[in-house]
Every structure is written in structure tokens, then in C-alpha cells.
A = this chain, B = another copy of it.
């Protein structure tokens, strides 16, 4: 089955807003076997909406719109689509009560009159109540033509799509196929090496599509299978997943959208371990990533951003002769940093980064992108030498990822 997504709003056409809704909708619809044929953005203009909705309903029979469902004058999506289906707008009692409740919740004595229009839906349509705002989602069906209208505010749209639209489609679409996907996240290994390790074992796989998705902090492997028997395609995915875990398990840090910082946080928290971080080239990014996680104070004791050599000596007591002999960018300095930040803070584990983020080389003429990361716990120390490219911000991101990954590997040892 194919669909067209129409996002409605002048702010998209002017480039003020990037349309992220349609990518979300497209991904979610594909999970119930509906493929997107076109994505169209148009302005809040009656003739345009009418023309495009008519044409695309003709094209695929399944149209989903976002935007233009608010209570103000420029919100004309609902009225226009009702016209396309030749229906009049009527008040939906349930939705009206829902909107009134919301206004009470905000301390209004009475709902502002302008919002009465929020409770109107085309006659015979199905309304999905919006828990995150006032505009309901609306489904109009005629014969085998569907049109679903959702609000444009992303979290309202996502809530309605996930909470009502997808379950509705799962129940009501006949003969549809299922799409199951699984994303396996790896880091510390290049796309080509990963493929080389896996291909001999995956060459015979026919019913699961395997995609390598490299980014500068790792390679995601995405498995996709489509078919009418959900149980069977899930089993197929799991078979392939098992091969991948068997062969490349040590490079895998998580699944779907999991962040490496969160993975490390979970292990440290579970074991009651405290971490201290000494950052030079990553400039605070490791701490920033860890402290984005609620409860990070349970595992992060402290971090230091020792950006100058003096700071390394002052705060971390790195011996001056080490810095002079090996340079601030060296495995010796990285290990000292990790060890001393751990000891000085009485933490269980210390990690560190030192490198040349660029754009210039350092005083030892080390090349841009050379990075050392250090690890220390009470039994051992370790380090890793890396070349992470020429772009400052990417060097920082890659180095933060590599440091968290070294930590993950040591914790799993």
C-alpha cells in the first residue's frame, strides 16, 4: 500500500521550519507496510490544499496531512478537506469535552469561544483525542480512500500517530504486509571491516535486507524484513541478528537509538562504580554527554577540562618532566591523566582524552586528529592511539565516543 504525506504550513515553505514530521510519519507507516510515494509541503492556502489533496487521493488512495488544525483564521486544513469529501463539519461531543477539560486544567473558567472550532470534524469521520494539545487527529474514509489529518506540532503529531493512528491501521487494514526493523549499533570498527567480517556468513541471507549506516561515531547495522507473517519475519531478523552478535559482538554497544553514554551509565550505576573524567581535546563533551542523563550524579564524581598544560600540572599533578619529555599529546600523558584524576578523586575509574582537535598542529607538531585516550582502575591502566580526521568538532565527537567505548570494553572485560 502506498501513501502521500502532505505537510501544510507557510513556515515550512519559507524555510523557517524544517519538516521533520514527514520522516517520522514515513518510518512509522512503513512499520505497518505502508510505503511513502511522495511528500509534499504546501502553504496555508485553500486552493492549494484542495488541489493537492484531490490529486494525491487519486494517486494513492491514502493521504496523511499535518498542520493547519489550530483554532485561528489561517488554520483551514479541516474545512478544506471536508469540502473535498463533500461533508459538512459537525461538533464531536467527546472532543468538545476533551478541549473544555484542557482549558479547565489551565485554570480557565470557560473555554475561549474560538476553540469551539477545534471540536468540529467532518460528518462521519473518526476523531482521535489529543492529550498534548487541543486539535484532535481526524480520519475520513470513503470507500477505499483514506485521509488522516494530524496537527503540525511534532510531539502532538507523534503522540496521535503512535497512540491512535498506527493501532487503527494495524486493526483495520486488510492484506497489509508487516515491516520489522532492527538496528544494531557498533563503534570502533570501520564499515568495510565490519562487512568483511560479516559477509561470508550473511551471503546466503535472502529474506532480510542488511544495510550498513556509517556515521562519524560508529556504524549502525540495520536489518529490515517485510512480509505478511509477522512472527516469521521477526524470526528471520533474529536469526541474522544472532549471526551478527556472534561475529562482531565486541563492537556492539547498543540497539535502536541507544546512546553509548547511557549504556556506560547503566553499567556503572548497576555496579555502584564512580567515574572521574579528565578531558583535554574533548573539552567537556564527555561530561556533557554523561550529565545529560538523569541521575548521572550517581556515577560521575567529577570532570576536569585541563585545556592548558598548566592546568594538567595544577589540577592533575602530571609531572612536568612527563609533559616535557612526551608532550601533552602522548600515551604517557593520557595514562597519567586517567590515573591521577581517579586517584585524586577517590573514584573507581578514570578516563582521559588528549589530542590535537585542530585546526592547527600542537607545539610538538603532532598532526591534527591524533588523539590518545587513557583508562585507569585500581588494577590496571590502558590507552588507545587514534587518528580521528581533520575537523575539530568531529574530532571531539569521535574522541568522546572512543573514550566511552574503551570504558565500556573494560567494564565488560
Interface residues of A (CB under 8 A from B): 12-20, 22-27, 30, 35-43, 48, 52, 213, 277, 279, 282-288, 290-292, 294, 296-297, 300-308, 310-311, 314-315, 344-346, 357-360, 392-393, 396
Contact = CB atoms under 8 A, between A and B. Distances in A.
B301 A303 contact: no
A301 B311 contact: yes
Given A288-B284, A358-B294, A315 B307 contact: no
Given A41-B38, A300-B307, A283 B294 contact: no
Given A307-B303, A308-B301, A13 B37 contact: yes
28 contacts: A14-B26, A15-B25, A15-B36, A16-B27, A18-B23, A22-B41, A38-B40, A38-B48, A38-B52, A39-B40, A283-B290, A284-B287, A284-B288, A284-B291, A285-B291, A288-B396, A291-B307, A291-B357, A292-B396, A301-B307, A302-B305, A302-B306, A302-B308, A303-B304, A303-B305, A303-B307, A304-B305, A315-B315
A43 B39 contact: no
Contacts of A288: 283-285, 287-288, 396
A307 B311 contact: no
A288 B281 CA distance: 10
Given A284-B284, A284-B287, A294-B392, A24 B15 contact: yes
A314 B18 contact: no
A282 B42 CA distance: 40
B315 A302 contact: yes
Given A18-B18, A302-B305, 7 more contacts: A16-B27, A279-B287, A284-B286, A284-B291, A291-B357, A294-B392, A302-B307
A20 B15 CA distance: 9
A166 B206 CA distance: 47
Nearest to A308: B301
A25 B12 CA distance: 12
Contacts of A308: 297, 300-302
Contacts of A26: 13-15
A183 to B, nearest CB: 11
A254 B216 CA distance: 31
A296 B300 contact: no
Contacts of A344: 314
Interface-centre pick from A20, A23, A310, A346 (highest chain B CB count, 10 A): A23
Given A41-B39, A42-B38, A359 B22 contact: no
B18 A20 contact: yes
Contact of A283 (B42, B291, B307, B396): B291
Contacts of A36: 13-15
A304 B304 contact: yes
Contacts of A25: 15
Nearest to A346: B310
Contact of A302 (B30, B290, B311, B392): B311
A18 B24 CA distance: 9
A37 B43 contact: yes
Contacts of A279: 284, 287
Contacts of A311: 301-302, 345
Contacts of A30: 14-15
Contacts of A294: 358-360, 392
Nearest to A29: B15
A26 B300 CA distance: 45
A4 to B, nearest CB: 10
B310 A301 contact: yes
Contact of A284 (B18, B35, B42, B303): B303
A30 B16 CA distance: 11
